[in-house]
Amino acid sequence: MLFSKLAVLSALIFLPLILQAAPAVSISEDDNSFTLANGVVTVKISKHSGDLLSLEYKKLELLDTESGRQEGYWSHNTARAGEIIPRLTMDPKSNGGKRGEVSVKGISGGNPMGSGPGGGVVADIEIRYALGRGESGVYTYCIFSHPTNYPATSVGEARFCMKLNDDLFDWMTVDANRNMKLISAYDWNHGTVMNGKEMRLMNTGLYKGQVEHKYDYSANQFDVRAWGWSSSEKKVGLWLINPSVEYLSGGPTKFELSSHRDATFNTNALNAPAPPTLLNYWRSSHYGGSICNVGTNDAWTKVIGPFLIYCNSGETPAAMWKSALAQAGQESAAWPFEWVNGVDYPHKNERATVSGKIILNDPQAPGLKMKNLFVGLTAPDYEPAFVPRPPRIGAGVRRGSGGAGGFGLAGGGDDEAAMTNTFSGGTNNFSTRTNYPARVETNFTNRFGTNGLRNFGLPRMVEWQNDARNYQFWVRADEDGSFSIPNVRAGNYTLHAIAAGVLGEFVLTNVTVAVGKNQSLENLAWQPFRFGKQLWDIGIPNRTAVEFFKGDDYFHWGWYLQYPKLFPLDVNFVIGKSDFRKDWFFEQVPYNTDTNNTTGTGRGDGTTWAVIFKLTNAPSGKAILRLALCGIGTRSVWGDLNGRSIGTVSNLTYNATINRDGISGSWCERDLIFNASLMKAGTNTLELTIPAGGLTSGIMYDYLRLELDEKSSVSK
């Protein structure tokens, strides 16, 4: 411990001297590009698009400059702007070579900019790159600005992407489970297409006989802050490092694409390039997606980043990953960066720390301890701005693979149509809860307002899980519930807390943060909502299905094909006897009856899972089956108890988790409320059924609990 403290102290003392001795930063330019160099890295930036054209480290070109694809780019760049303004925002000649920064700004003029999968966005876009003395990498950030005189718009798929030099990089690292030498372009191009354009069975190479699927490398963005590729031969690595997640969407439970091979989908292109790829997504439709709509009269700006494109070297990929993780720690400690100026980016003295302590008080679980407690400050829930559909282009085709402004909600992308809600009221879809927090009231009128059927009947409230328009500030709290959220921008927020072992969340509205003024919220009592007495539960409420059978190995293609082999008689779970870690599969999917099906195509039969439980006495009153769901691929789940229907959970919102080999998509709770007299003394059998359909059209449960309210009755 003493050595560690001395090492940190030495670094703090000598690092400035080391940097001062390093070569100065220089910037040169021609008509088409800027070049930034510091003796460690050299980068070249397009003055037209803001793309990263070249990145050299140790005299090696790290980007794919041969295939003709964009090398490093923001999906929404400046190439389509009517006016493009390239300039130096920080001249190293003015600060002794300490730091240089260039900017490429595109003025929209009310026209779409960028060309992401969801189309363009009507906003001005500024892309910046910054390089410091002695730094082994370059920072980039992007600023979106929508003035009030621009029309309504939405941001579709939005990310920074890099295509890497395939002659160098062969090893990919996402986390401890995805740290491996990856397939080659040859392997991909000679693979067999499975049940999706992004899935192929490998016929050659290291993973012959396995299916390659880029979503198998999706990562939790809160926990994975450094990910990248390395070269086992040339001993160099290239990484993306997020020093903060305030500019990302979806909070601490959001999974997103991170890295993979840029796989061509042309099955005849046997020699097509498929370079290693790195992605930093800030808004997507994946795993339930997020929304970034801007109304006609809205003044909106958002700064994405800065984050670091980090270059390093080491004897092994493991050593380079360790170095990247250490660098990620330094970046987080330095956030917010003092050198960022001229944009909406408050410095440390303009931000605040919000602290407090969450105290759990659950009378039915007096000894319950919160694990993996997250506390966050987010924008209050809001109804998304209406964005008109784009004009049709040809028969049945909308602009941008799903439409810029997809269906009046969030622009474009694979999942946009399925992301939207078409909820209608119903006892078993939405339960009215006394003293339940307003943000999770499930009465249709309360949730969507009296205008709930406007926007083509496809509205939904924007809350922290699907908000990409605003900033979010989250921390993992201490085991005793203490939390301290640093570097919060001034504004009005809602405070949320979620924890493993606790169903639901704590909500505190109207938390106002002033410029530069720290705030203590003291002790915050959290009494989780319950309808009544708990009869039994299955799993752990943690917003994932990871604790169930095979849930710890979810990131492999095709578990839905394995389900009939693992559970030939389906799941029959006996309360008090069965173990959810072994006896409850992590996804309930249609039953594949075709034993020759190896591609995952086709349909399966409806699947019924049974929960058997005993009661000492026949109950009366109202029973509530609480279903916490973290993966949704079906529209409905229906329940039966002792051979009689207890209702249907319908109009579920698809979140593309099962088909993308995920473990956690946008989370929701749906309840089945029924007359408790359907239960009896002795053995009872509850059955949950999903309908027949595609093999991935199932359900992932986070948690199940049966509660009894003996003092209430079910209204007829």
Structure confidence by residue, pLDDT tens digits, 314-354: 999 999 999 999 999 999 999 999 999 999 999 999 999 99
> CATH code at 330?
2.70.98.10
DSSP letter for 291, please: B
Pair 111, 189 in one domain: yes
CA 205, 207, 209, 213 torsion-angle sign: negative
DSSP letter for 3, please: H
Full residue range of the structural domain in which residue 548 is found? 533-709
Domain-ending residue, one of 314, 329, 345: 345
Pair 588, 636 in one domain: yes
Q: Is residue 15 part of a domain?
A: no
Q: Which of 253-267, 284-298, 547-561, 648-662 has the lowest mean pLDDT?
A: 253-267
Contact (Cβ atoms closer than 8 angstroms) between residue 35 and residue 29: yes
**Mean pLDDT along residues 592-613:** 96
Q: Is residue 295 part of a domain?
A: yes
Run of H or E residues at 561: helix 559-566
pLDDT reported for residue 4: 39
**Mean pLDDT along residues 29-57:** 98
Q: Is residue 580 part of a domain?
A: yes
DSSP sequence for 353-384:
EEEEEEEE--TT-TT---EEEEEEEEPPPBPP
Cis peptide bond upstream of 112, omega within 30: no
The residue among 459 and 64 whose pLDDT is bigger is 64
**Mean pLDDT along residues 485-499:** 98
Q: How many residues in the chain?
A: 716
Identify which of 706, 703, 698, 704 has the alpha carbon closest to the alpha carbon of residue 588: 698
Tell me: pLDDT of 451 over 80: no
Pair 537, 517 in one domain: no
Amino acid of residue 465: Q
pLDDT reported for residue 454: 27
Tell me: pLDDT of 160 over 50: yes
**Mean pLDDT along residues 270-292:** 93
Give residue-wise pLDDT tens across range 240-253.
999 999 999 999 99
DSSP sequence for 463-499:
-GGGB-SS--EEEEPPTTSEEEEEEEPSEEEEEEEEE
Pair 556, 472 in one domain: no
Domain-ending residue, one of 345, 368, 399: 345
Contact (Cβ atoms closer than 8 angstroms) between residue 240 and residue 278: yes
Pair 586, 629 in one domain: yes
437: Cβ contacts below 8 Å, ≥ 6 apart? 505, 507, 529
Amino acid of residue 140: T
Tell me: pLDDT of 399 over 80: no
Q: Is residue 358 part of a domain?
A: yes
pLDDT band with cut points at 50, 70 and 90 for residue 690: very high
Tell me: pLDDT of 434 over 60: no
Tell me: pLDDT of 398 over 70: no
For residue 670, give both structure tokens. 């749906």
Q: Which of 3-12, 115-124, 265-274, 505-514 has the lowest mean pLDDT?
A: 3-12
Q: Is residue 716 part of a domain?
A: no
Pair 370, 318 in one domain: no
Give residue-wise pLDDT tens across range 62-103.
999 998 889 999 999 999 999 999 999 999 999 999 999 999
Pair 121, 152 in one domain: yes
Domain count, the chain: 3
pLDDT reported for residue 114: 83
Angle at 630 between CA 627 and CA 635, to 5 degrees: 75
The residue among 465 and 118 whose pLDDT is bigger is 465
> CATH code at 704?
2.60.120.260
Pair 267, 284 in one domain: yes
pLDDT reported for residue 618: 96
Pair 314, 440 in one domain: no
Tell me: pLDDT of 684 over 50: yes
d(CA 465, CA 604): 31
pLDDT band with cut points at 50, 70 and 90 for residue 450: very low
pLDDT reported for residue 271: 82
pLDDT band with cut points at 50, 70 and 90 for residue 18: low
pLDDT reported for residue 266: 62
Q: Is residue 5 part of a domain?
A: no
Give the pTM. 0.89
Pair 260, 360 in one domain: no
Average pLDDT along the chain: 88
**Mean pLDDT along residues 586-591:** 98
d(CA 554, CA 563): 12
Q: Is residue 542 part of a domain?
A: yes
Q: Is residue 298 part of a domain?
A: yes
Contact (Cβ atoms closer than 8 angstroms) between residue 72 and residue 49: no
CA distances for 251 relative to 145, 247, 543, angstroms = 23, 10, 12
Pair 292, 188 in one domain: yes
Q: Which residues pair with 124 in a beta bridge?
A: 145
pLDDT reported for residue 337: 98
**Mean pLDDT along residues 247-267:** 89
Identify which of 222, 478, 474 has the alpha carbon closest to the alpha carbon of residue 370: 478
Burial degree of 644 (CB within 10 A; 0-12, 13-18, 19+): exposed
Give residue-wise pLDDT tens across range 633-672.
999 999 999 999 999 999 999 999 999 999 999 999 999 9
**Mean pLDDT along residues 213-224:** 97
Q: Which of 287-301, 314-328, 427-441 has the lowest mean pLDDT?
A: 427-441
pLDDT reported for residue 443: 30
pLDDT band with cut points at 50, 70 and 90 for residue 15: low
pLDDT band with cut points at 50, 70 and 90 for residue 474: very high
pLDDT band with cut points at 50, 70 and 90 for residue 389: low
CB atoms inside a 10 Å sphere around CB 216: 21
Pair 339, 393 in one domain: no
Percent of the chain, pLDDT > 90?
Answer: 81
Roughly how many angstroms between the first and final C-alpha of the chain, as a whole number? 67
411: Cβ contacts below 8 Å, ≥ 6 apart? 118, 119, 121, 153, 154, 155, 156, 157, 292, 387, 400, 402, 403, 404, 405
Domain-ending residue, one of 303, 318, 345: 345
Percent of the chain, pLDDT > 70?
Answer: 86
Contact (Cβ atoms closer than 8 angstroms) between residue 131 and residue 22: no
